[in-house]
A and B are shown apart, each in its own frame.
Chain A
Amino acid sequence: MTVGNTTTQRPADATATGAAVEIDQVAVRFRTKKKDVTALRDVSLRIEPGEFVSIVGASGCGKSTLLKLVSGLLRPSSGQVRLHGEDVRGPRRDIGYVFQRAALLEWRTARKNILLQAEMRRLPKAQVRQRVDELIAMTGLTGFEDAYPNELSGGMQQRVALCRALLHRPPVLLMDEPFGALDALTREQMNVELRRIWRETGTTVLLVTHSIAEAVYLANRVIVMTPRPGTVAEVIDVDLPVERDYGQTMSEPEFARATGRIRDLLGATTTAE
């Protein structure tokens, strides 16, 4: 994974051996003073390189926990997690992470916030500069490079966080409700842009979201989870064309079918409670 490489990286090349992410019979239990919580139970998943997978489910069903497992920020209580065929033990550097709050350093400009990724990884400055310009242009941040986070709108802040997550060309991008704090219109725009960026970079994306429309519009597959203990209820294949115009996609019968199915599944789990 070299930064100097300006051609679009297809993770498929690097991982000809198999899945980008493999989760095998994983369970996560948290022990707290009051009680033990089983956050995840019996979760198995296989995500191919270059896939865009959305994860939906009620709050507390273990979506964030799932992403933390993949990134190695959390170890499973049982089962196995593999990234490109390698066992995940400890935090992984070959991923990009975007949180709901942009988590920007307020004393750094947009550009300097993006560069944090390079500084921590001690990447050569000359190569990185070009990459940052590329990302800034790609995410529509041009003209805002020298603005501080408190001078940027929520959408712009998330763009900066996205650039920071993509700087080192991670083969896997993890996004935990990245647009949850944005207004509806900005959110739609960000969806369209994320879809474009995913196609340009070819990165494998795992996106946690509360918006069913967002999940279906963006993904090839949607993982629907049920709570207590969190487990996979169903994996829905989204059979929409690769080229997805936002308005047109919304009116596709396949879009209606997929969102309807997810709504049924989530509704069923809430009434069952």
Chain B
Amino acid sequence: MAAQSTIEQREPTAPARTPAPAARRRGSAGGGLLRFVQSTWRPAAVLAAIFVAWWAVTAADLVKPYLVPAPGTTLDVVLAQTGYFAHHTWITTYETILGFAIAIVVGVLSAVVMVYSPTVEKSLYPLLLFAQVIPKIAIAPLFIVWLGFGLTPKVVVAVLMAFFPIVISTVTGLKSIDPEMLQLSATMGAGPGQTFRKIRFPAALPHLFSGLKVAATMAVTGAVVGEFVGANEGLGYVILQANGNLDTPTLFAGLLIMSLLGVVLFVVVELLEYFVLPWHASRRTDAATTSL
């Protein structure tokens, strides 16, 4: 900021200064993706190191294979039964994404209603908190009783788990708006709808996205918890079955695929954030650069 004002002093009313910021902007959009790749290689390296350690431990026979199977064995299990794993992964993915999507719609809508109506907020908030603190694993059996053995109870548990972070982050985001911005909007003759669409909702998006990232991983957990309680398909079912048969390679494979599902969903949300909020992403990396 200080440097910029010095430039202004030297050139008081310069009408034809370089249009550099625009060019810099376009450069930083591609740079954002590059930075994204740059920021992912470290965790990838750590992950690789863990796999190497896993392989070393099993190769050196430090633990019994029926306790910790070798990476190769685990991979062989998956390759030998690709159809089986694909089917159950698809089931869990389906439950997760459906639950996540419903949680987004319901979560954002209730956040909007709560922000615009203090009465609704006061009556709904304690209820939300109550729903959040109940351990989902404890109420999941109830959903099986109520909703049957199919996909519905799993989706419901996924919704329940993903819903809370979305509501909280959206409420925070919608309330974070500068009150002067809303007053300004009033002097522009904007109606509540216009103010919401052009000012309030976009301003809430950075908060919403951080909630979505948490919610994405919660949705996976929710779906698997639902499957643990009662299912005949899905990764939760695969893990339970393998556990009963002391089939650790299959158990490990199920666990790995499940984690991968969570990570992929998380990365998809993060990528979406990069494209939907380029202004926010660039700001964030600017802040990171100055703190170096």
Contact = CB atoms under 8 A, between A and B. Distances in A.
Interface of A: 68, 71, 73, 91-93, 95-97, 99, 101, 103, 105-107, 116-117, 119-121, 137, 140, 142-148, 150-156, 182-183, 185-186, 189, 192-193
Dominant secondary structure at the B interface: helix
Contacts of A68: 183
The 10 closest A-B pairs by CB, nearest first: A147-B21, A153-B4, A146-B22, A120-B188, A91-B186, A93-B189, A120-B190, A107-B279, A151-B21, A143-B19
B28 to A, nearest CB: 10
B5 A155 contact: yes
Contacts of A183: 2, 5
B15 interface: yes
30 contacts: A71-B187, A73-B183, A91-B186, A91-B187, A93-B188, A93-B189, A99-B180, A99-B184, A103-B184, A105-B199, A106-B283, A107-B277, A107-B279, A120-B185, A120-B190, A120-B194, A140-B15, A142-B17, A143-B15, A143-B16, A144-B19, A150-B286, A153-B1, A155-B5, A155-B8, A182-B5, A183-B5, A185-B5, A185-B8, A186-B5
A103 B21 contact: no
Nearest to B2: A183
A103 B199 CA distance: 11
A148 B20 CA distance: 12
Counting contact residues on chain B (CB < 8 A from A), the size range is 35 or more
Interface of B: 1-2, 4-5, 7-9, 12-19, 21-22, 24-25, 178, 180-181, 183-190, 194, 198-199, 202-203, 277, 279-280, 282-283, 286
A154 B15 contact: no
A142 B11 CA distance: 13
A154 B2 CA distance: 10
Contacts of A101: 178, 180
Nearest to A150: B283
A106 B279 contact: yes
A67 to B, nearest CB: 10
